[in-house]
Structure 1
Amino acid sequence: MAETIGDAAVPRMLVLARESRGLTQKQLSTSMSELAGGATTSQGFVSRAEAGQLPVSGERLELYAEALGYPSSLLRTNKPEFGAGVGLVHHRKRQLTTAGDIKRIHAVLNLTRLQVRSLMADVPARTTVPIPHVEVDDLTTPADAARAVRAAIGATAGPLESAVQLLEHAGALVLSRELLTPAQVDAGTETVPVDAVSCCPAGEDPLVLLNTGTPAERQRYTLAHELGHMVMHQVPHKDQEKQANAFAAELLMPATLVRTDLSGGQLGIPRLLELKKQWNVSMWALLRRAHTLGILSDWRYRSLAVEMSTLGYRTNEPDELPPDTPAAVEAAIAWHLRHGRTIDDLAARAGLHVQEFTRLYLAASPTSTSPDLAADPVSPFPSPVRTHHDR
């Protein structure tokens, strides 16, 4: 559906904008009343406006936009949206995530997708390897799917150097956003709140939003998990989270390679810490991998999990891995800036005020305006993914 801008607000954009700010209809109506200096805006008005029963234009539109912190042009833009589809939100402990959180996360993902699509327009196409789609059945396992991906990207052996680079090389776009405050990891399990949210709309670049504040080693596993959804899950089903975890484990720690490392001698905390730096994954991920591969007994697995928890490694593992930094969107912005567009231009494209655009797309990466970044005028994007064995 083409994007058009009319004189009045588009009801669905009113909903997305409000939910992306984590506001209820009542909270928005109160904010609008305060900004109006006494002229009351009722919750009923907001409800009817979002339902398309009342037009929002002129001064009322500007008031609406001011209360939401978006340019009024965004609220007037009729942009296509996707729903909560396969692998959209990655919940590792859903009971920690409220319905309001889910709505906000969905809205942030939708709006970020629209922003990024506008920012990537006109930029030279990236060199990518199409993500293979593998149907898991009685004969094909998630591990088979992971091996197919490794073969497709040419990373057939060794620990992956960068999960972000892998996804970007496969055509995805990765960004960090404040989704939820990271919570504690339950000892030895994968029960954490939302680490990432992703979507893979037909005909568009897949998009992954990483939860800001999540440790780098957990982000790598999360990215591999989200890639698993993109590869295997065209239709949702009850086993998809379990399958995505199995895919991620094989992608990051191939059984034929990691088994020897995990089996050499008595596996304990010092060895897990050593392997963490080698495999670029958390100690918990390695511990679980050793258990699922049958290297550790249930008793030994539980004992190590308790020991790691006692040491405080549930939330703060030693020797944190360096952050895995996204580059594709940053490179696209750098390309625009080098070709005469201003930050004001790009903010308007994205439907954001300049200050928020700068915070979301420039503040975290000062090099985004560097003339050396993305210097290739044809393909200003990251090189193919490498493994440690390539170096």
Structure 2
Amino acid sequence: MLVLARESRGWKQGDVARAMKDLDGAASKVSQAYVSRAESGKLTVGGDRLDLYANALLYPRELLVLDRGEVGAGAGLIHHRRKQAVAAPELRRIHAVLNLTRLQLTGLFNGVPRSIDLKIPQITVDDLFSPEEAADAVRAEWGISGGPLDSVVSILEAAGGLVLARSLVPPAPLDSGNESVPVDAVSSCTPGDDPIVLLNAGTPGDRQRFTLAHELGHMVMHAVPHPDQEKQANRFAAQLLMPARNIRSAFQGTVNLTLLMTLKEKWRVSMWALLRRAHTLGEISDWQYRTLAVEMTSLGYRTTEPNSLDPEKPAAVRAAVDWRLDHGHDVDSLASVTLLRPEEFTHLYLDSTSTLPISSIAAEVSHE
């Protein structure tokens, strides 16, 4: 838990040691070697030293003494929608944030009434059953008719999923001309736990629905990691959002930017996603795809597309917070059950305008 708490802040062992020394005074004997030995279990941290550790990391001491087995998914069960390899320390921070968020939500939802109408199916894809067929099976099982989905967030939440926005990495421009993108989200769907999706704060609304459908694809298809899982999740998302049998006819006339803008408003996905879909379905040639891609790039559509889409708003987590507030809980008690300090709970769960990364919140709280 000492490692997890540190990594969630994006800190190195030396950063923890310096924070502890600042609190302990000039005569402090805390060093990076002490932090290393504590994290490796070579010495026991208790009493006043545990309080010092907790104050340095800006977490309640109750978090630091949890059994590691209470913290859910390992790295193999965490999925990302990302473009290139993220630096290892950043990836560890993102995983730590996800794991601590799972602990927070477990405490928050304990005793809160919920209505879960759907179940996320587990489907194995192979040479005989494609990601597209998996997406069709999900639509059929959930009773979703053909055509655009009203809300991806809503169906995820109806299936027990919990969606939150967190600052994972600095948000990137749209850049939807590529098959994959920088870290837009991280998710996990471990047995016995609620499925969780952390959306990267600042992700363009034009890309959000595809990102959420991509993460749902991981939950459905990848209980066991697969070497082609990113491509499979993209294929699943494209079919879920733009079923071939419903959208194919839209591409059988002249496919140009005017048509893509019109279809964007109807299907609520980016023009780039629509262009790739037309190409994947064989409704435009390689030459047409490249020509339109060059035209869109020249107009700056890799950064910002016209007719931007508004992001969908998750509701389940905030509804749980509001229910607890309406039933006699205050910020201090909610911070306690989520294993956070009141200031950080307020930033993460009550301040809807906050997009600060946890490390920045920690620094701000420390300064205060």
Structure 2-normalised TM-score? 0.92
The separation in 2 between residues aligned to 1:332 and 1:365, in whole angstroms, is 18
Deviation string 1:244-302 (CA, Å, 9 cap, x unpaired) is 11000000000011111222x32111211111111011111111111111112111111
- Residue aligned with 1:94, SS: coil
Do structure 1's residue 277 and structure 2's residue 259 form an aligned pair?
no
SS of corresponding position for 2:89 = helix
- CA deviation after TM superposition for structure 1 residue 86, in Å: 4.8
Greater mean deviation of Cα atoms: 58-67 or 233-242 = 58-67
Percent identity between the two aligned chains: 56
Q: In the alignment, is residue 240 of structure 1 matched against residue 229 of structure 2?
A: yes
Instruction: Tell me, yes or no, if the aligned pair for 1:159 and 1:278 is still in contact at 8 Å.
Output: yes
> Match for 1:33 among 18, 21, 43?
21
CA-to-partner distance for each residue in 1:165-194, whole Å, 9 max, x for gaps? 111111111111000112245562123211
Residue 357 of structure 2 corresponds to: none
Q: CA deviation at 1:304?
A: 1.3
Distance 1:91 1:131, change over 3 A: closer
**In structure 1, C-alpha distance between the alignment counterparts of 2:110 and 2:293, rounded to whole Å:** 48
The answer to whether the aligner puts 1:217 opposite 2:206 as a matched pair is: yes
Q: Is 1:22–1:101's contact at 8 Å kept on the other side of the alignment?
A: yes
- In 2, Cα distance between the equivalents of 1:322 and 1:222? 14
2:301 to 313, 319, 343: 313
Taking structure 1 as reference, are residues 157 and 187 closer, same or farther at Cα in structure 2, changes over 3 Å only? closer
Q: Secondary structure at the match of 2:187?
A: strand
Which whole-Å CA distance do the structure 2 matches of 1:353 and 1:108 have between them?
A: 15
Cα shift at 1:137: 2.0
Residue 117 to residue 290, structure 1, CA distance change in 2 (3 Å): same
Select 1:351's aligned residue among 321, 339, 345.
Answer: 339
Matches within 5 A, 1:144-163: 144-163=133-152
Shift in Å, 1:217: 2.4
Alpha-carbon deviation of 1:101? 0.7
> Counterpart of 2:283?
295
2:194 is the counterpart of 1:199: no
Corresponding residue to 1:81 among 48, 66, 71: 71
Please list every run of 5 or more consecutive structure 2 residues that lacks an aligned counterpart in the other structure: 355-368
2:130 matched residue in structure 1: 141
Equivalence map 1:96-175=2 (5 Å): 97-175=86-164
Query: Which of 83, 92, 96 is the equivalent residue of 2:82?
Result: 92
Return the alpha-carbon distance in structure 1 between the equivalents of residues 115 and 41 of structure 2. 39
**Distance of 1:361 and 1:276 partners within structure 2:** 32
Partner of 2:219: 230
Q: Which amino acid in structure 2 is aligned with residue 126 of structure 1?
A: S
AA at the equivalent of 1:181: P
Contact (CA 8 Å) 2:165, 2:200: kept in 1 or not? yes
**Residue of structure 2 aligned with 1:259, choices 224, 242, 248:** 248
Gaps of 5+ in 1: 1-12, 367-391
Shift, 1:158, TM fit: 1.4
Q: CA deviation at 1:337?
A: 1.2
Q: 1:319 to 1:240 in 2, by over 3 A?
A: same
SS at match of 2:115: coil
Deviation by residue 1:198-231 (Cα, 9 ceiling, x = unmatched):
1111111111100000011211111101111111
* Structure 1 residue 241 displacement after superposition: 1.1
1:204 aligned counterpart, secondary structure: coil
Instruction: Give the total of aligned pairs.
Output: 352
Match of 1:189 among 170, 175, 178: 178
Task: State the Cα distance separating 1:85 from its structure 2 match.
Answer: 4.5
Q: Is the 8 A contact 1:85 1:199 kept in 2?
A: no
Q: State the alpha-carbon separation in 1 of the partners of residues 196 and 116 from structure 2.
A: 17
Counterpart position of 2:9: 21
Instruction: State the SS of the aligned residue for 2:134.
Output: helix
Q: Verify the 8 A CA contact 1:187 1:305 in the aligned structure 2.
A: no
Deviations 1:58-102 (A, max 9, x none): 22222211221212221122251234345513142233x100110
Deviation sequence 1:333-378 (CA, Å, 0-9, x none): 1111111111211111001111111111111179xxxxxxxxxxxx
2:39 corresponds to which residue?
50
